[in-house]
Amino acid sequence: MREYDLSNAPWRKSSYSGGDGGEACVEVAYDFIGAARWRKSTYSDDNGGECLEVADGVPGVVPVRDSKVVDGPVLLVGATAWTHFIGTVAV
């Protein structure tokens, strides 16, 4: 079973929730990838070089984004495919 740390994810309450707080409510986490802990490539430099960031701790996939566009799209790569990719480009 996959486990995600959603403690930093933004949450929103269902529009069907009552305003008195006593009714059962549903909250939905969105943009949980945005709550991920991102890290830059070890090949990054401090001069704004072209870099990728990856997020650790997301079982089964490796989220990848452009370090210069942190609010941009995120590519989810399967963990096995990522391992093969890194093994190929590291040669």
Question: pLDDT tens, 3-22?
Answer: 556 666 667 777 766 666 55
CB-based contact 45:33 (threshold 8 Å): no
Q: Is residue 52 part of a domain?
A: yes
Q: Is residue 6 part of a domain?
A: no
Segments forming the whole domain that contains residue 20: 11-89
Q: Is residue 2 part of a domain?
A: no
Q: Is residue 83 part of a domain?
A: yes
Taking 70 as the pLDDT cut, the residues of the chain under it are 1-10, 16-24, 28-35, 43-50, 91
Provide the 10 A C-beta neighbour count for residue 8. Answer: 11
Judged on CB neighbours under 10 Å (0-12, 13-18, 19+), 67 is: middle
Q: Which helix (H) or strand (E) holds 37?
A: strand 37-40
Domain count, the chain: 1
